A and B are shown apart, each in its own frame.
Chain A
Amino acid sequence: MKLNRKVWVRSMLAAAATAALAGGAWAQGQPVKIGLLATLEGPFAAGGADGMRGAELAVKQRGGVVAGRKIEVIKASSDAKPDVAVNATRKLVEQDKVEIMVGPLSGGEGIAVKDYSKTQPGVTFINGGSGAQATTLVNPSPNFFRFNTEGGQWMVGLGKAAMDKGYKRVMVIAEDYAFPYSQVQGFMSEYCRLGGKVPEKAWVPLGGKDYSSVIAKIPKDVDALLVVLGGADAVNFLTQYENAGGDKPMLGGSITVSQDVLNYKGKRRDSLVGTLSAGPLADAYDGAEWKAFVDDYRKTYPVSAGGFPSPSLFAYVYYVNMKAALDGLAAVNGDLSGGQAKYREALSKMVLKTPNGDVRLDANRQAIGTTFVTEVVKDAQGNLFNKVNRKVDNVEQTLGMSAADFKIGSRDVPACP
């Protein structure tokens, strides 16, 4: 009797909430509330909006219903600052009472939300787009899951590709914060193991405009430059390097060889052909699932409706993480009872089908997934685009090292001068 009343009260509340928000579709049992957090403000506003598109696409593909339970997505925004992200998450969890939380987008936010997740054991947190190594390596939280690979993993395979090209010595030019540290680590741990040398690393401030002092420091005897700069910074660097008469070939980070760089019109444009880079997705990958995903994205979010010509990195990782949340829910038949124990077990053991192949989780609930090595080539019209050079499966967060030997990347780790 008591239980009945409780259920009745709860369902009334749920029905009222649904009626208010979704116009009364409570026929299929209680809805599942999923919080969705991305940056709709600040430096990653465009990326955050595309991240939301990716997550919504995953919900849409299931028709908004999993195991007879309606999926109700409640959105929140941050501006890439950790304190704002925690406030937004706290609102979703404690005020809107979401049962599953997907987000946030950037690295520092991810660490802060992971810390917060420890105080909310009743809610399952799934990452959105954030890629800091420490999120799952240092003091991992038992209810924080990440189904996307991170900055270090995204660079695996590039070291070998560089050695294959005959680059024996490489200088690193990268921005001075955690994400480029992890990118450089992902490259160097493999490159150094294969016998490559990195005699010089230049850490430049984020958003720097003047690279002349860095360019002056480039040693004569290096074979290539590893440039881990964000899109516009990379173009600035290229222009200044060209003006200074530089001619070393380039290797790029995961966000370096973007469309900005490929549209570069300077004299050295042709020298960009052959530039290697690596990342978790490749526009030109011809896997059937990837093509289907891109088609679906384009159909749902045509450019006229604000979508990108091709899903961005953030759309992809949010899609993957939201898909994981929903697939896990389907696996337990919508059962979130018992402190979500069954659901979390299903997530931990799940082999997630993503557009780029299977993803599993390691002991810290961090994804083990696929990385693409890409190479810039010229098509018949003279346009530059990224061609898939190699696909590396099952990339682990510790980059092939044992957990005890692995140290999080920093300015000085790893080193092989």
Chain B
Amino acid sequence: MSAAQWRRAMSTGLAGAAPRVPVGRTAAPSPAPAADPFAHSDAPRWLKHLWRTLAPRHVFTALLVLIFPFVATPFFTFQVASQSLVLGLIALSLTFLAGYGGMVSLAQMTVAGIAGYTMAVLGTSSSPEISLGWPWWVAVPAAVLLATVCSALIGWLSVRTEGIYTIMITLAIGVAFYYIVLQNYSVFNGFQGLRELKPPTVFGVQWRDPLPFYFLCLFWAGAGYFLVRYVVRAPFGIALQGIRDNPRRMEALGYGVVAHRVAAYALSGLLAAVAGILLAWYNALMTPGSVGTGWLINILVIAVLGGMKHPIGAFLGALVFVLLQTFAIDVIDRERFNLVIGTVFLAIVLFSPDGLLGLWAKLRSRLSPTQAMTSPQRRQP
């Protein structure tokens, strides 16, 4: 596939839907301003906005994620839910880059790994001769900052390429980072990596216990989710989507194409870096294995599985991925369980090229007659 074809495929696949969500959301309530009961009330603006945009499914989801850890076992809270949130946040950084910027980067796990390793080297770990032992409130921001800068550099290097060439360059960077941490013993401790990376005890809370860690992940995943939702509606995000669809025209209009793309890399790097810190705490270790080729591709699998048309897809994909990884071996014995994982991935992508979100959209359009009747009512009090 040539670069131009690739881009066309990316933009036709995404151009219709991705902007629809952010634009549609803000536009939808406006037709009925007269019916808005808050139009003349003294309630603060944010409350009115919330009332207009909130649908039952949002409340349902919010209640679900808040109540879930109190109902589920610690195992589900920690291994399934927290891990899904962390992996989802990394996949979200890719969804943002690929879905809204049209740039498929395989180096998102590498950025997360850079953050995790930096925190391990600057902070405390099982190798006191390597780790500098800085307090966490210095080490963690420094790690996030460095990873964001690295992501911007990766972007700067790869934005001049398009489509499949971007994939190749970012893959090369990812594999190079893997070999550096594998073979360097003085800073990265080689094959064994750095262990005993624990979140600090703040406000007397053990943040690695299942419940606090879940809420920590939920907070940052939510922050990343709403940041992406906000940015894609902001002028920067709109310009980015314009660049995705037609860089030459945007250039002619006076937008700095390279600058926008590099900025998008930096922002996605920020998301991946935060997730990288959480991932290091989740595993309590950083080893070359966690930034290997397998994981670079897993992040792409998660993003595609969930669907790239909406930021929530990343988290749905991560949930399915983690559930499969954890429980496939119970379904079928021994060496064959990877077959189950592969079959499910294949089935989802085969029947719905837009991942789980595409399945959801299909389901909704099938039920649409009833929805069309009820949805205007839903906004009335």
Question: 1/0 per position for A27-49, CB-CB distance to B under 8 A?
Answer: 00000000000001100010001
Question: 1/0 per position for B282-314, CB-CB distance to A under 8 A?
Answer: 011101011010100000000000000000000
Decide yes or no whether B212 CB sits under 8 A from chain A.
Answer: no
How many Å from the CB of B265 to the closest CB on chain A?
26
In Å, the complex CA distance between A206 and B185 comes to 14
Decide yes or no whether A90 CB sits under 8 A from chain B.
Answer: yes
In Å, the complex CA distance between A206 and B196 comes to 25
Identify which of B72-80, B97-105, B245-253 touches chain A: B72-80
Chain A residues within 8 Å of B196, by CB: 115
How many Å from the CB of A117 to the closest CB on chain B?
13
Decide yes or no whether A387 CB sits under 8 A from chain B.
Answer: no
Chain A residues within 8 Å of B290, by CB: 81, 83
Identify which of B131-139, B143-151, B330-338 touches chain A: B330-338
Cβ of B191 and Cβ of A45 under 8 Å apart?
Answer: no
In Å, the complex CA distance between A41 and B328 comes to 14
6 example contacts (A-B, Cβ-Cβ < 8 A) are as follows: A82-B287, A83-B289, A115-B196, A176-B183, A176-B190, A177-B192
How many Å from the CB of A18 to the closest CB on chain B?
15
Interface residue from A40, A45, A111 paired with B195 (Cβ < 8 Å): A111
How many Å from the CB of B176 to the closest CB on chain A?
15
Interface residue from A41, A77, A80, A108 paired with B193 (Cβ < 8 Å): A108
How many Å from the CB of B117 to the closest CB on chain A?
14
How many Å from the CB of B64 to the closest CB on chain A?
21
Interface residue from A86, A95, A178, A411 paired with B73 (Cβ < 8 Å): A95
Decide yes or no whether B368 CB sits under 8 A from chain A.
Answer: no
Decide yes or no whether A87 CB sits under 8 A from chain B.
Answer: yes
Chain A residues within 8 Å of B285, by CB: 82-83, 112, 115
The interface of chain A, by Cβ under 8 A from chain B, is 40-41, 45, 49, 52, 75-77, 79-84, 86-87, 90-91, 94-95, 107-108, 111-112, 115, 176-178, 205-206, 411
Cβ of B334 and Cβ of A205 under 8 Å apart?
Answer: no
Decide yes or no whether B375 CB sits under 8 A from chain A.
Answer: no
Cβ of B75 and Cβ of A91 under 8 Å apart?
Answer: yes
Cβ of A94 and Cβ of B195 under 8 Å apart?
Answer: no
Decide yes or no whether B329 CB sits under 8 A from chain A.
Answer: yes
In Å, the complex CA distance between A91 and B74 comes to 11
In Å, the complex CA distance between A115 and B78 comes to 17
Cβ of B329 and Cβ of A83 under 8 Å apart?
Answer: no
Tally B residues with Cβ within 8 Å of A: 31
Cβ of A115 and Cβ of B284 under 8 Å apart?
Answer: yes
Cβ of B73 and Cβ of A40 under 8 Å apart?
Answer: no
Cβ of B287 and Cβ of A75 under 8 Å apart?
Answer: no
A178 and B191 contact, Cβ closer than 8 Å, known pairs A77-B329, A94-B73? yes
Chain B residues within 8 Å of A206, by CB: 191
In Å, the complex CA distance between A111 and B289 comes to 15
Chain B residues within 8 Å of A45, by CB: 335
Chain B residues within 8 Å of A40, by CB: 334-335, 337
How many Å from the CB of A243 to the closest CB on chain B?
27
Interface residue from A76, A94, A205 paired with B79 (Cβ < 8 Å): A94
How many Å from the CB of B189 to the closest CB on chain A?
10
Chain B residues within 8 Å of A177, by CB: 190-192
In Å, the complex CA distance between A86 and B281 comes to 13
In Å, the complex CA distance between A40 and B336 comes to 9
How many Å from the CB of A311 to the closest CB on chain B?
18
A77 and B337 contact, Cβ closer than 8 Å, known pairs A91-B75, A95-B75, A205-B183? yes
In Å, the complex CA distance between A61 and B338 comes to 30
Q: Look across to chain A and name the residue whose beta carbon is closest to the beta carbon of B292.
A: A81
Beyond contacts A41-B338, A112-B285, A177-B191: 5 other A-B pairs, Cβ-Cβ < 8 A, are A82-B193, A87-B83, A111-B195, A177-B192, A178-B192
